[in-house]
Structure 1
Amino acid sequence: MNYHVDRVNWQQTQKQLKQIRERVFVYEFHMPMEVEFDGLDSHSEHVIISDEKHEPVGTGRLCPDGLISRIAVIQAHRNRSAYSSLLNFLVYIAKERGLNDIFVNCILQEVPNFIESGFLKQGCVFMEAGIPRQKLKCPISSFKTDPFTMLH
């Protein structure tokens, strides 16, 4: 399936972005609402991914410090193409902003995919809303999307 990713403005599209993130993180993965909506949204760059019918199926954000986060894709579209499209576009925005490094706080089962893609572990495993996570860092110049299959 072909996907289309667009940069969007939080103030103009927050209702749509919140719907996707609530559906994935709050209802499906049981993330508390106050953790999911952490106050960084109005300061971050956001993207939305749409399917061939122009229906929104996912979103992600790039925080000012280079943290790529809140990647949410509805279940029927969780595939390599969707995630690669989102990540590539967020990395493009990071390059455009002049960032040298990008970061992710990923679930432990996804750490090998990120390491294959050029990321290195940063610090210890930590808990977020009862989910163990690892902070990873990657120089933008070393980023590759090939290993990505599914992220949560």
Structure 2
Amino acid sequence: MPYRIHQVDWGSQDSPIRQIRERVFVFELNIPKSVEFDERDNNALHFVAYDENGTPVATARLCQDGLLGRIAVLPDHRNPSIYTEILKYVLINASNCGFKSICINCVLDEVERFKQKGFSPCGCVFMEAGIPRQRLECPVSRCDSSPFTMVH
């Protein structure tokens, strides 16, 4: 299924972003709403993926420090294709905006898989919303996005 991905403005497009992230992170993963929606949303680059009917089905954000996160995909659309398309689109935008590298806060079970995609550990393991994570970093020019999936 082809998806259309667009960079959107938080101020005018926060409703579909909030709906998707709330469903995935707050309801499915029990992340507190106060943790899921933070001050970084105001200054981040936001991306929304739309299905063939124009319905928003996924979202991601890229913070000013290069932190890629809040990748949320509605259950009926969770497939390798959408994750790959989102990451490719974010990487193109990151490069166009002058980002040299991106980083992710990865769940520990996924660290090895992300290392195979060009990411390297950066810093110590830490807790985020009760989940142990490792920050990983990758130069934008070296990040392998295909096939790519994200696991919460």
Tell me the TM-score range normalised by the shorter chain: over 0.9
Per-residue Cα deviation, 1:83-113 (whole angstroms, up to 9, x for no partner): 1111111111110111111100011222222
Over 3 Å counting, the alpha-carbon distance change for 1:147 and 1:113 in structure 2 is farther
Moved beyond 3 Å, runs of 4+: none
How far did residue 147 of structure 1 move?
4.5
How far did residue 75 of structure 1 move?
1.1
Contact conserved, 2:61 with 2:70, CA < 8 A, in 1?
A: yes
Structure 1: gaps spanning 5 or more residues:
none
Aligned pairs, how many? 152
2:110 aligns to what?
A: 110
CA distance in 2, matches of 1:151, 1:90: 17
Matched, 1:49 2:49: yes
CA distance in 1, matches of 2:125, 2:74: 26
1:29 aligns to what?
A: 29
Q: TM-score, normalised by structure 2?
A: 0.95
Matched, 1:99 2:99: yes
Q: Give the aligned residue type for 2:90.
A: L
Q: Give the aligned residue type for 1:86.
A: I
Secondary structure of residue in 2 paired with 1:92: helix
How far did residue 25 of structure 1 move?
0.2
> What's the Cα RMSD here?
1.1
1:10 aligns to what?
A: 10
Q: Give the aligned residue type for 1:92.
A: I
CA distance in 1, matches of 2:146, 2:22: 28
Secondary structure of residue in 1 paired with 2:89: helix
Percent of pairs identical after alignment?
A: 48
Contact conserved, 2:121 with 2:134, CA < 8 A, in 1?
A: yes
CA distance in 2, matches of 1:105, 1:87: 15
Contact conserved, 1:116 with 1:147, CA < 8 A, in 2?
A: no
Structure 2: gaps spanning 5 or more residues:
none
